[in-house]
Structure 1
Amino acid sequence: MKLSLISVLLASTSIVLASDVFSLTADSFDQFIAENSLTLAEFFAPWCGHCKALAPEYEQAATILKDQHPGIKLAKIDCTQESELCNQHGVEGFPTLKVFRGNSDSVSPYAGQRKADSIVSYMVKQSLPAVSLLADKDSHEKFKQADSFVVVGYFADQQSNNTFAQVADTLRDHFLFGATNDESLAQAAGIEQVPAVVAYKKFDGDDRVVYQGEFVVDDLIQFAKIESIPLVGEVGPATYASYIESGIPLAYLFVDNGKQKAEFVEILTPLARKFKGKINLATINATTFGQHADNLNLKQQWPAFAIQDVVSNFKYTYDQASEITATGLIEFLDKFVAGDVNPTIKSQEPPEVQEGPVTIVTANTYDEIVLDDDKDVLIEFYATWCGHCKNLAPKYDELGSIVWNDADLKSKITIAKVDAPNNDVPDDVRGFPTIKLYPAGDKENPVDYEGDRTVQSLSDFVNKYGKYKVDIVAVGEKTTLVDDEDDEEEVHDEL
């Protein structure tokens, strides 16, 4: 029997392309996680723009993993349908991605980029043991060549093995770790005394660096982070995060052509060796990323040099009226390390009077307002050109109005905002809008907001993490109700 073209088309519309991402519910979640040794689960909402952008990348990653690493599964949970399950797993924003390991209680946040190849790479690393056991000379040599930077431990006791395993577990998403208890392998590697840890790398001309400090977890972690960064690297999308996560001040040299870069790398290399572990030195392409100079309080004139303290976010600029020379850089870096260079602070003029409903913060008023220890301070870091910030504005103003117009709330809570590109603030802001809550009495532990951008969600966030546990929206509704009753009484009197 022949099918008409119309019937074929109608039939085709009923076909749903098979997905390699598993859709889970409260009924299937626990069993699925238990039956699979490694699962990446995405908690999402259909209306979420970031979730929609992630969807094709997530699907592609699932297909690649199904073909090449079938033991790794990708799953998704619709939190609009499975709210209780999502609450159970601490989901406060979308998308939230978490790594689950079979029957174990081990759950960790996904820390990679939201691209298919990054998801695949991240999950493959997660599937490997945190520490690869190097049993013989062949496996030892292959492991040393497995990546541009690997860390190998040589041990003879269980305590050292356990310490190294903690380091590897902490940094497993970033580096490869191997270990051996074979004394002959240690001797072949030139190790005279164990325990020992060696970083093998394919850059800077140092094929290996032996750790010299005390055998403690935090020091070993810092050793791996420092040695993994090239003496003179290049700041870009693929490297910026590693520089920031190192916790070490980052010195940028803006250059606009290859010849200029080569000349300055020659100048910077000996300085990088001198200040290793104290300052990371890197070039940055001024042609591509010149606008970043504004964030460092530099004019877009090249070459240019500045240091960013990645912890305080203060910037220290080299005088752009002076020529950048080796002697000048040494003097500048020496003074910076000694604490003799003042930061260059960019700040707008604060308003003479705060008229509400949202308190305006500038760099010069940041400590006074945000670090007011008596108040829960919700602050939005925004940019004037940011479309998402503009969409949020009326909702944020609505929340601010409830607080501003209630004397009791106003004494406990501040709803604030700061134009981040035009004010140097001591926060790591990587996108707009960024919202944080600084709780009263605990200003050292701000909480990042990751929920949807509604008045109710923002109110719930302040209620949950603030000191005073206030439901702002509920207070606003009560006030409105009282006002409405008063209005009705006034109308009745007139009648």
Structure 2
Amino acid sequence: MNLFLTKNGIGFTLLYHIIVGLFGLADSGALQLTQANLDITLASNELVLINFYADWCRFSNMLAPIFDDAADKVAAEFPEPGQVVMGKVDCDREGAVASRFHITKYPTLKVIRNGQPTKREYRGQRSTEAFVSYIKKQLADPVIEFKSLKDLQDLDEKKRVVIGYFDRKDVPEYTVFRRVATNLKEDCQFYVGFGDASAQMHPPGQPIVAFRPDKARSNEEDETFKGNLSVYDEFNIWASEKCVPLVREITFENAEELTEEGLPFLILFHNPDDNEIVKKFNDVVQSELLSEKHSINFLTADGVKFTHPLHHLGKTLSDLPLIAIDSFKHMYLFPDIKDMERPGKLKQFLNDLHTGKLHREFHYGPDPVTDPPRVDGSSGSSSTTSKKPTTPPESTFKKLAPSKNRYTLLRDEL
């Protein structure tokens, strides 16, 4: 038996066989997870893909044989214990486990990496081939090694990048670096150089990690990590803050995930080559709207790809750039993109959403406007003109939210 030691001196291979013996795990198909074996399974594997299901759910029953078949193929492809497990949870039997992972629909596929749930659930095609392909992609090395500093000159300026400079690979700091990279590989690109490739960028024996922002989309500055690279949580928090920007780009691939967050969208629609307006939008959000980040999603959208929302707003590509709010009920157009950089204008637009003014005007027309005081000092009068209701179109992005027909809702919601 090929053993290698953990911190506790127990080989992973031996540990795996102990788990099998203790909990009577099946020899084929997805691993049945319970309250008893869940934590040790998550802790001892880099990647765990879990199918949360219910036996009475038709969609769960359709997925079950496919998921089991994929689990067998993944186990054959990655036989080394500690790499990956495809598991399943019977949510009726394991209610505490289902509650722990906030399961609201069946089947739900959660991805656990290094013991922590990822932000993104599995939302790809539900076929054996798709599952196997997904696992292979997830287990691919998240770090790109550069051989010379010249290799870093042509990085994609639309991507956020974390660069590590190390003496060698077999140091604890690099283990932490790579582990964090596996968590954030979909948000950042990670590069690393060893030995002579990076020697001039750091003192001997002192690895350095630097962040390079997406210079084509933001005016953020480069930054060096000043914490302890040997402490996973410390580096992971820093890297997460750098890799996940305040203003994100919405795509057809991440739209479902963004809508499921439940926050309204403030979206800049722009021509794909217009990077300057994206930078300006980023600057305004950073300087004026930072306090709103928990109440709204700040997004940019390629207006060529997302032409349908533009047509919904009565606009075309020739009207780009423009800004709109999608509240998941209606879409509201920011009156004039030229006012975006005027202090307080965009913030007032958001306030009008939060106070209900935008929705109220949809039903009753514009709020009465009080005329400014007259020269003689008497107060102005309220205007009662222009009381026709506004006509904002219905939300288009709510149609990109998770389909209720794709899952079975919890039994008490049926």
TM-score normalized by structure 2? 0.50
Distance of 2:345 and 2:175 partners within structure 1: 37
CA drift at 1:45: 0.9
Q: Tell me what 2:302 maps to.
A: 283
Any residues of structure 2 matched to 1:19-418 within 5 Å, and which?
Answer: 21-22=29-30, 24=32, 26=34, 29=37, 33=41, 37=45, 38-52=47-61, 54-55=63-64, 58=67, 61-62=70-71, 65-66=74-75, 68-70=77-79, 71-80=83-92, 82-83=93-94, 86=97, 90=101, 92-93=103-104, 94-99=106-111, 106-108=115-117, 111-116=121-126, 119-120=131-132, 123-124=135-136, 126-127=138-139, 132=143, 137=147, 150-154=161-165, 168=181, 171-179=184-192, 182=195, 184-185=197-198, 187=200, 195-199=208-212, 211-212=222-223, 215=226, 220-226=239-245, 235-240=250-255, 249-253=266-270, 264-266=271-273, 268-276=274-282, 278=284, 281-285=300-304, 290=308, 294=312, 298-299=313-314, 303-304=318-319, 306-308=322-324, 317-319=333-335, 329=337, 331-335=338-342, 339=346, 342=349, 343=352, 345-346=358-359, 349=363
For residues 427-450 of structure 1, give each alpha carbon's deviation from its aligned partner in whole angstroms, at most 9, with x where no partner exists: 99934779xxxxxxxxxxxxxxx9
Contact 1:150 1:199 in 2 (8 A): yes
Distance of 1:45 and 1:338 partners within structure 2: 49
Task: Indicate how the Cα distance of structure 1 residues 52 and 152 shifts in structure 2: closer, same or farther if over 3 A, else same.
Answer: farther
The answer to which structure has the higher helix fraction is 1
3-state SS of the aligned residue for 1:335? coil
Contact 1:92 1:451 in 2 (8 A): no
Match of 2:401 among 399, 406, 430: 430
- Aligned identity (percent) is 16
CA drift at 1:47: 3.1
Structure 1 residue runs of 5 or longer lacking an equivalent are 1-17, 254-263, 320-327, 351-363, 365-420, 435-449, 458-495
RMSD of Structure 2 on Structure 1 (CA): 6.0
For residues 450-473 of structure 1, give each alpha carbon's deviation from its aligned partner in whole angstroms, at most 9, with x where no partner exists: 961526x9xxxxxxxxxxxxxxxx
For these two proteins, the number of residue pairs brought into alignment is 312
Task: Indicate how the Cα distance of structure 1 residues 178 and 313 shifts in structure 2: closer, same or farther if over 3 A, else same.
Answer: farther
Distance of 1:220 and 1:28 partners within structure 2: 33
Distance of 2:62 and 2:74 partners within structure 1: 20
Q: Tell me what 1:417 maps to.
A: none
Mark the structure with the bigger radius of gyration.
1
Task: Indicate how the Cα distance of structure 1 residues 423 and 161 shifts in structure 2: closer, same or farther if over 3 A, else same.
Answer: same
Structure 2 residue runs of 5 or longer lacking an equivalent are 1-25, 228-234, 286-298, 368-392
Distance of 1:292 and 1:53 partners within structure 2: 38
* Higher RCO (CA < 8 A, seq sep 6+): 2
Distance of 1:56 and 1:148 partners within structure 2: 39
Q: Tell me what 1:474 maps to.
A: none
Distance of 1:20 and 1:180 partners within structure 2: 41
Contact 1:252 1:282 in 2 (8 A): yes
Distance of 1:63 and 1:28 partners within structure 2: 23
For residues 386-436 of structure 1, give each alpha carbon's deviation from its aligned partner in whole angstroms, at most 9, with x where no partner exists: xxxxxxxxxxxxxxxxxxxxxxxxxxxxxxxxxxx8589xx99934779xx
CA drift at 1:185: 0.9
CA drift at 1:238: 1.6
Contact 1:153 1:179 in 2 (8 A): yes
